[in-house]
Structure 1
Amino acid sequence: MTNETAAVQPRSTNLFAILSIIFVWFAGLFGLIFGYIALSQIKRTGEGGRGIALAAVIVGWIYIVGWLIFFIAIFAIAFAQS
């Protein structure tokens, strides 16, 4: 009986997952879009990086909601004074 072990290939990380976590800190919308693209590709190909893409999607939505709240507050202040 031989004890052969198959070489385990490490899964590569999806490129869009890496790009999404980088872009989400500089341009939240692009990070959000790249995150969704990465999640779609990861589901199809089985690549690694799902956690990275998911983090980018979450941070991207926080970014979008934060800007919406900011603009609503600015408009509310502007119209309250007039």
Structure 2
Amino acid sequence: MSDVTPPPPAQPAPTPYASAPTGAKTNTLAIVSLVLAFFISLGAVICGHIALSQIKKTGENGRGLAIAGLVLGYLGLVAGLIGTILWISFFAIAAGSGSFSY
């Protein structure tokens, strides 16, 4: 007999990890609209309306993000408008009362 050792048992082939199923893509402008709502309200409103139009045509995800961007964008525009009116009113009242000294 020979002194040959038998080969080790074959290892099972590693099973690759299954990738997560990819759903519908989220509309990029919907995300941009929500982010812009915290910085530039008018940009959020514009991007939000464009995103809703694209979502309706393509069936992408992100409708809620676009609506949130629109709501926050419009609230920002209203707050900015009210703030501007109050700012102008303050200076108009202050100028009328003669509280400024030259």
TM-score tier, shorter chain, comes to: 0.7 to 0.9
Q: What letter matches 2:33 in structure 1?
A: S
Q: Which 5+ residue runs of structure 1 have no aligned equivalent? A: 1-7
Partner of 1:34: 47
CA shift, 1:9, in A, is 5.4
Q: What letter matches 1:53 in structure 2?
A: A
Computing the radius of gyration from Cα coordinates, the structure with the larger value is 2
- Distance in 2 (CA, whole Å) between partners of 1:68 and 1:26 is 15
CA shift, 1:45, in A, is 1.0
Q: Percent identity at matched positions?
A: 39
Equivalent residue in structure 2 for 1:22, among 27, 35, 42: 35
**RMSD of aligned C-alpha atoms?**
1.3
Partner of 1:79: 92
Q: Which runs of 4+ in 1 moved over 4 A?
A: none
Equivalent residue in structure 1 for 2:82, among 69, 75, 78: 69
CA shift, 1:62, in A, is 0.3
Paired residues, what number?
Answer: 75
Q: What letter matches 2:44 in structure 1?
A: G
Corresponding residue SS for 1:26: coil
Task: Using CA pairs under 8 Å that are at least 6 residues apart, name the structure with larger relative contact order, 1 or 2.
Answer: 1
Q: Which has the higher helix share?
A: 1
Q: Which 5+ residue runs of structure 2 have no aligned equivalent? A: 1-20, 96-102
